[in-house]
Amino acid sequence: MSVLNGKKILLGVSGGIAAYKTASLVRLFIKAGAHVQVIMTPASKDFVTPLTLSTLSKNPVHSSFFNQDDEDAVWNNHVELGLWADLMLIAPATANTLSKMATGNCDNLLIATYLSAKCPVYFAPAMDLDMYKHPSTISSFNALKQFGNIIIPAEKGELASGLSGEGRMAEPENIVAFLEADLESKLPLKGKKILITAGPTYEAIDPVRFIGNHSSGKMGFDIANQAANLGAEVILVSGPTHFRVKNSSIEVISVMSAQEMYEACHKYYENVDVAIAAAAVADYRPKEVALQKIKKNAEEFSIELEKTKDILFSLGAAKKDQFLIGFALETENEIENAKLKIQKKNLDLIVLNSLQDAGAGFKKETNKVTFIDKNFNIEPMELKSKEFVAVDILNKVVSHFLKS
């Protein structure tokens, strides 16, 4: 899956012949799973039509501060456009547009949005070879680099003038590859391997019945997806659940019972940097599993149970340099029970849930957690969607590696 998947890309198109390539560029962004909005300078519309880019991006194309054909004259808010984007790309970036970017000469919507953008800005120059090497152009390049903007170098080849040399805008495929490589290199968990458990376990009574719990697995899957989005190599060991990962780079190990989850975790644990135990693992299992379906004959029926292996305890005992995170779902004495669990299971961080909190617990879209670290620092969080709780958890992981 492309690192551009889900990214909001603001594409600025200026008035050069290379503008015709932006149709292919937008198509590649959409294919990668990105959301695209396009801003065109008035001159760029001589080379590619707004209708083309609007159709491909599935969004209206903006080119002026307000729509002149609109009776209500609705303002195209350059500030909102700049804040919307995860990244801004100006391609083609002509000598004229580069000069305006460098000097702040704000005479069109594209430059106004550029000056308002809070996101990383990339630019792909496109011009004739003498213009590309002119001192004023070099000065623009240097100024933009000092601003923190990132150049996607022009390529060599035949130019619109008929000359051949440096100045061709990078091909759309190469622009996409450049963006992907640059974004991947900056992901905070790039090179880290994370083991995550999710879902319930089912402990068989007979071939058709089991002991289980109400865990849906959503929390663990959200953590896995967020970890992969941050560049981590993710191994997700999941009990039975209907959820599917959103990032194809996640390796999913499907298990049924606590014993299967125990074995899967220890198979990978030695070679991971982080382990996050979000699964709701059964504490007990039937001591004997019937080979045939148990008939409903007796008025009363008893099942003898035995303890399952404590996966989190075993991971804590085997811990070397791993950053180990556990979950605690409590109904009483929440903080004290969580602190005891940190000590007993050798955890670096615990994510405490309380069934007393509205909106938290199993089969909910939201969760309300409290973070407690191994030094017993307590950080209560607000009620949030589980996706945003996953973000908070992975921020703790990122912070750990920044400090180490």
Tell me the C-alpha distance between 132 and 129, whole Å. 5
Beta carbons of 202 and 212 less than 8 angstroms apart = yes
Q: What length does the chain have?
A: 404
Tell me the C-alpha distance between 224 and 243, whole Å. 12
Tell me the C-alpha distance between 268 and 246, whole Å. 22
The secondary element (H helix, E strand) that includes residue 198 is strand 193-198
Out of 213, 247, 337, 346, the active site residue is 213
DSSP assigned state of 3: T
Q: Please provide the DSSP assignment of 285-312 as one string.
A: EESS--SSPPPS-SS-----EEEPP-HH
Half-sphere exposure of 114 (CA within 13 A, CB side): 33
Q: Look up 142 and say whether it is catalytic.
A: no
Residue identified by tokens 């404590």 is 310
Strands (E), 41-127: 61-62, 87-93, 121-125
Beta carbons of 155 and 170 less than 8 angstroms apart = yes
| Active site members | 213
